[in-house]
Amino acid sequence: MKPLKPVIFLVDMQSFYANIEKSLRPELRHRPVVVSGDPERRTGVILAACPLAKSYGIQNADTLREAQERCPEVAVVRPRMGLYLQISLRITEILERFSDQVEPYSIDEQFVSIHGSEKLFGSPRQIAGKIQAVIRNELNLYARVGIGPNKVLSKMACDNFAKKNRDGIFRLDHKNMKTDLWPLPVEKMFGVGKRMGDHLRKMGIRTIGDLAQFPLERLQKRWGVNGHVLWMTANGQDLSPVTPHTFERQKAIGHHITLPRDYRTAGEIRVVLLELCEEVCSRARHHQLLGQTVSVGCRGANYQLPTGFHRQLKMPEATNQTMEIFQYAWQLFLQFWDGLPVRSLGVSLSQLTPDRHIQLNLFEDRGKKAQLGYIMDEIKDRFGPTAILRAVSLTCAGQALNRARKIGGHYR
């Protein structure tokens, strides 16, 4: 008896946020709907548009003003991230009825390995149809399913074909890859954005097929390991397994914020950078981790003339103490900031190790300082994230109070 070949699904929820709102609010069922951030805080960007809204030319990442110009009668709904997360978890539970190998990829996309499930539920296409039916019947949401022998082909099957099919299902493997996938523009390939697409086109690579047949050694010479990964993806090769444990071993802990206005002075920026370090350190402590490399990134306020930087620094010792990490983060920022207004900031901590071992110091009690951070976390866990705040967070530059009311940068 021949062993079963791997079969992997990428299950993607159509217009996830917008369709959740339409399914729960009957008055919106036949109206064009967009889910948008808070326009009063200059975050009026379209997070999701229902298919009817998209028929007017509205796309994700459009500004709210652009969406309303294209469709004046569009219904604008504020995001409810807590609700969306709950429904995402319910979708995971549905998928786990068909397989014990379910890997969340994003809030609205999940990989499923159905290797061995065929004996219970039928062919891959039949299983995909059953998954769609269960999600539709229980949640009134529509799922598209890309099918492939590995994760990268199932992802491209969903993005490029299943989303455009009447039944929302498409299988992409090495039998039809050359005829269906290779003729597509290279920007349609997973892992290729606009900037990479520009680089590839300058090298004469215009389609995914061109990339698949391009000399591997030239790609490696130009981009190293990333060049090899691009070539493998174009040829439908992916060795990464579907695993439910993807997020259990973190490589880094980071936090990023888009500011409600242009921050122009070092004093204002310093407040937010300190708050970001506080958030990153708190998350590191909750995972019982220390980090030795701090990274700082910022983006300028002018979208037409992009400015900013992303730099990292290895600290002498691994730590999860806010002020220690802030010291190096601020040093990095001052070194690379061009003095122009800032629109967004980010801080991350990497080279993570367990916090069981702390480097002692003859001149200070590092153990007591480390313990203080954990005690502050316990108070916040018990009484809320704003139970203890640094005084600078109460100034007009502070964002901690506003962020405490949100999940993932959006209102709960």
14 Cβ partners below 8 Å, 6+ apart? 51, 141, 142, 143, 144, 163, 168
Q: Looking at 55-69, 123-137, 302-316, which range is the least confident one?
A: 302-316
Confidence of residue 65 (pLDDT cuts 50, 70, 90): confident
| Residue-wise DSSP of 287-343 | TTEEEEEEEEEEEES-SSS--EEEEEEEEEEEE--HHHHHHHHHHHHHHH--SS-EE
Whether residue 149 is found in the same domain as residue 197: no
User: Would the pLDDT of 374 be above 50?
Assistant: yes
**pLDDT at site 42:** 43
User: Would the pLDDT of 149 be above 60?
Assistant: yes
> Helices (DSSP H) in 171-251: which residue ranges?
194-202, 208-212, 216-223, 225-234
List the CATH number of the domain containing 198.
1.10.150.20
Task: Write the pLDDT tens digit of every residue in 269-287.
Answer: 999 999 999 999 999 988 8
List the CATH number of the domain containing 345.
3.30.1490.100
Whether residue 84 is found in the same domain as residue 159: yes
Whether residue 166 is found in the same domain as residue 310: no
**Given CA atoms 359, 360, 365, 367 in this order, what sign does their dihedral have?**
positive
User: Would the pLDDT of 215 be above 70?
Assistant: yes
Tell me the catalytic residues: 109
Is residue 108 annotated as involved in ligand binding?
yes
Residues 401, 275 contacting (CB under 8 angstroms):
no
3-state secondary structure of 280: helix
Tell me, yes or no, whether 242 lies in a domain.
Answer: no
Task: Write the pLDDT tens digit of every residue in 359-373.
Answer: 655 556 566 666 777
3-state SS string for 191-203: CCCHHHHHHHHHC
Sheet holding 102-106, edge to edge: 102-106, 109-113, 8-13, 143-148, 169-171
Is residue 12 annotated as involved in ligand binding?
yes
Whether residue 259 is found in the same domain as residue 395: yes
The token duo for 197 is: 């697409």
Whether residue 13 is found in the same domain as residue 158: yes
User: Would the pLDDT of 221 be above 90?
Assistant: yes
Confidence of residue 162 (pLDDT cuts 50, 70, 90): very high
Whether residue 153 is found in the same domain as residue 184: no
Antiparallel, parallel or unpaired: β 75-77 and 33-36: parallel
Confidence of residue 1 (pLDDT cuts 50, 70, 90): very low
Q: Which domain holds residue 199?
A: 178-234
Domains: count for the chain? 3
User: Would the pLDDT of 249 be above 80?
Assistant: no
Choose the most confident range, by mean pLDDT, from 55-64, 198-207, 385-394: 198-207
Whether residue 39 is found in the same domain as residue 163: yes
Tell me how crowded residue 29 is: count the other CB atoms within 10 A of its CB.
Answer: 12
User: Would the pLDDT of 37 be above 80?
Assistant: no
**pLDDT at site 217:** 95
Tell me, yes or no, whether 39 lies in a domain.
Answer: yes
Task: Write the pLDDT tens digit of every residue in 16-32.
Answer: 999 999 999 999 989 99
Span 87-115, average pLDDT:
94
Span 114-130, average pLDDT:
91
Query: Where does a domain end: 234, 260, 282?
Result: 234
What values do phi and psi take at 232, rounded to 5? Answer: -65, -45
54 by Cβ neighbours in 10 Å (0-12 / 13-18 / 19+) ranks as middle
Confidence of residue 70 (pLDDT cuts 50, 70, 90): very high
Q: How many residues can be counted in the chain?
A: 412
Angstrom CA distances, 74 to 28, 48, 71, 81, stand at 10, 12, 6, 21
Query: Where does a domain end: 186, 204, 234?
Result: 234
Task: Write the pLDDT tens digit of every residue in 289-316.
Answer: 899 999 999 988 776 667 889 999 999 8
Amino acid at 298: C
Span 351-363, average pLDDT:
70
**Given CA atoms 130, 133, 135, 137 in this order, what sign does their dihedral have?**
negative
Whether residue 36 is found in the same domain as residue 155: yes
